[in-house]
A = this chain, B = another copy of it.
């Protein structure tokens, strides 16, 4: 089969690989489409942090990509949960199931992260991913895709699940509560879409790019803030009778935005950190303590939130299709990655569609 693998740093190349065989608790997926995620670009340039921890050599024939969908074509031994022909999208993480974290349900924090022999998989991070014609998936990582979703849009299921997970860790009771999101990339926009779908009000976005603010409006934002044109903290306080929002989400990865997000947040409010910059971020922890604020870092898409996000997609509670802006064939995956990296032509989600 064809697969795009890591070469050296900054290099990805198209090679021929053998179609893998599904083992215990696994299925073989014929990939239908795969989206480029910001993390893919990180992996391309720096390797995945967990790969390096786990001593996986940088360029060892590793297939990239984790936001894909496709069709089950073969099942491993004792697998009756899925059947050949099932149309599915995927989560990234299958925990080892044997460490303390997995046993408490926190599988994206698995203590055996990257230890394939103990059962852990993180496709596209530490195990082969989906920039290929076929991929192996643990049955835990599959969710059904409804007929009415195109292959391209279905790749966004895992992105929606990540935002759903973020709302879960915030306690989930966003209905009738206020929420602000900073950053209108795919994750931030999904937070907007899901918060709106779940009844949050008002839903506020702070994002400097006008096209992304418009996208946020389309997905459900009630108020749009351009943080370069007005003070986003003051604006949020104006919109919330001076109190700040009940929930907030940092999805920009821009250090200066962290304190904006904190200062937008009401006493006793909750903050989800869904993005980050490398290095240390100057943070107003005095404000956090004085105001009983709780901050929740989230890694990936835990708590089976992808399944619930997929249910909302099936129910047509929100429409992520505008996030999908560009399509390329598998042969042009490198070009797809370049578009995503450089936001060429306003690219948000660039998808590779198999033939």
Which one of B280, B281, B309 contacts A176 once the chains associate, using CB atoms below 8 Å? B309
**A297 x B298 contact (CB < 8 A):** no
Nearest-Cβ distance from residue A206 to partner chain B, whole angstroms: 18
Query: In this assembly, does A229 line the interface, its C-beta being within 8 Å of a C-beta of chain B?
Result: no
**B101 x A312 contact (CB < 8 A):** no
Query: In this assembly, does A336 line the interface, its C-beta being within 8 Å of a C-beta of chain B?
Result: no
Query: In this assembly, does A286 line the interface, its C-beta being within 8 Å of a C-beta of chain B?
Result: yes
Query: In this assembly, does A109 line the interface, its C-beta being within 8 Å of a C-beta of chain B?
Result: yes
Residues in A247-288 with C-beta less than 8 Å from chain B: 258-259, 267-268, 273-286, 288
A292 to B113, CA, bound (A): 13
Residues in A66-94 with C-beta less than 8 Å from chain B: 78, 81
CB-defined contacts of A280 to chain B, threshold 8 Å: 259, 282-284
* Copies of the chain in the assembly: 4
Closest B-chain residue to A258, C-beta based? Answer: B285
**A273 x B289 contact (CB < 8 A):** yes
Query: In this assembly, does A13 line the interface, its C-beta being within 8 Å of a C-beta of chain B?
Result: no
A108 to B273, CA, bound (A): 24
A144 to B281, CA, bound (A): 41
Closest B-chain residue to A302, C-beta based? Answer: B292
Query: In this assembly, does A106 line the interface, its C-beta being within 8 Å of a C-beta of chain B?
Result: yes
CB-defined contacts of A101 to chain B, threshold 8 Å: 267-268
Q: What are some 7 contacts across the A-B interface (CB < 8 A)?
A: A97-B102, A104-B303, A175-B308, A176-B312, A275-B289, A282-B282, A291-B299
Q: Which residues of A contact B (CB under 8 A)?
A: 25, 49, 78, 81, 95, 97-98, 100-109, 111, 117-119, 138-140, 164, 168-169, 171-173, 175-177, 197-199, 201, 243, 258-259, 267-268, 273-286, 288-299, 302-304, 307-312, 314-315, 317
Other than A176-B307, A290-B297, give 12 A-B pairs with Cβ distance below 8 A: A78-B118, A97-B119, A103-B105, A106-B292, A109-B268, A169-B294, A176-B308, A176-B311, A176-B312, A273-B285, A278-B286, A281-B284
